[in-house]
Amino acid sequence: MAPPPMKAVLVAGGLGSRMLPFTRYMHKAMLPLYHRPVIDFALGFIRRAGIKDITIIGNRFIGQIAQHVGVGLPGENIHYVIEESPQGVAYALNLARPHIEGSRLMVYFSDNITTAELTGEVRHWKTSDEPPGCLLLGRSVEDPRAFGVAVLDEEGKLTDIVEKPENPPSDLAIGGIYLYDERFWELLDECYGTENDGFSITDLNRKYIELGAAELKDLGDEEWLDCGTTDALLRASGLAKEGRLSPEPCNRRENDPTS
């Protein structure tokens, strides 16, 4: 039997309150990151990994995203889902369920911008006959207390994740881009049924860890930014100007800048 298809869900919901007043009238993913909107850099990451079926979850301004992204590039399937009011991660993901259930998934939270790539890992997810589990991305940060933080054993193996700890067990923060196998929905339903309003994506990741099915990829010197703040967006724009961040491939239109 062939492995399940590989799809992506780009979570661009929420109110964008950290980016006010800009997000009062505009979706945060449409804010400029150097010469392209933020969402083009997220989509470029997904596309370079070889994923062609993408569901985008957005708030009341999702029409702005749809007008920009359109039907996507040739050969792609782009789906749009509106999150009319923010009710948590599990609620948002369940809105996209009709488009992605039964698939292996990349879950990408749109504020995350990185110079890393997952092309090889996604290739493995596409071709593995056995469920490959989940892949988490970690990067070293000066103050990990605002993040989910990796707990490692003496051999460097991931044994747990602690959410926003006062005394972090390591300096490895878990980033907002994940790969999951086809057990995703079964485990999410288990977590959500237990946690309800308190659910976070960390709860799901811990389920995979308990099964011995979670792998941590340390990004090392690669850049990783949370572009939900103006300072980070400015820094990301600098990286794009230097050629270290790319939105390619993206659907350029007439008179769009090429660099």
pLDDT bracket for residue 221 (50, 70, 90): confident
Q: How far apart are CA 18 and CA 31, in angstroms?
A: 13
What SS3 class is residue 248?
coil
The SS3 of residue 114 is: strand
Binned at pLDDT 50, 70 and 90, residue 108 comes out as very high
Note the pLDDT of residue 67: 94
pLDDT for res 200: 80
Residue 135, C-beta contacts closer than 8 angstroms, at least 6 positions apart: 118, 121, 125, 178, 179, 214, 215, 216, 217
**Helix pair angle (184-195, 201-210), 10° resolution:** 120
Q: Nearest 5°: CA angle at 256, between 110 and 231? A: 40
Q: Where are the domains of the chain?
A: 6-241
Query: Above 60 in pLDDT, residue 73?
Result: yes
Q: What is the pLDDT of residue 25?
A: 87
Give percent above pLDDT 70 in the chain: 96
Residue partners of 224: CB distance under 8 A and separation at least 6? 112, 113, 114, 115, 116, 137, 139, 175
Query: In degrees to the nearest 10, what's the CA dihedral of 9, 15, 17, 22?
Result: 90
Question: Is the pLDDT at 86 greater than 80, yes or no?
Answer: no
User: pLDDT tens digit string along 222-249?
Assistant: 999 888 888 989 999 999 999 999 999 8
Give CA–CA dist 102/185, Å, rounded.
8
What pLDDT score was predicted for residue 56?
97
Predicted local confidence at residue 254, as pLDDT: 62
CATH code of domain 6-241: 3.90.550.10
Q: What is the pLDDT of residues 16-36, one digit of tens each?
A: 788 788 888 888 899 999 999
The identity of residue 80, as a single letter, is: Y
Calculate mean pLDDT across residues 109-120: 93
pLDDT, residue 166, reads: 87
* Whole-number Å distance between alpha carbons of 38 and 47: 15
Q: Is the pLDDT of residue 197 over 60?
A: no
Q: Say if residue 196's pLDDT is above 60.
A: no
Mean pLDDT, range 64-93, rounded to an integer: 90
Residues 6+ positions from 55 with CB-CB distance below 8 Å = 7, 8, 9, 10, 78, 79, 80, 81, 96, 99, 100
pLDDT one-digit tens code per residue, 122-146: 999 999 999 899 999 998 888 888 8
Does the predicted model carry a pTM greater than 0.85? Answer: yes
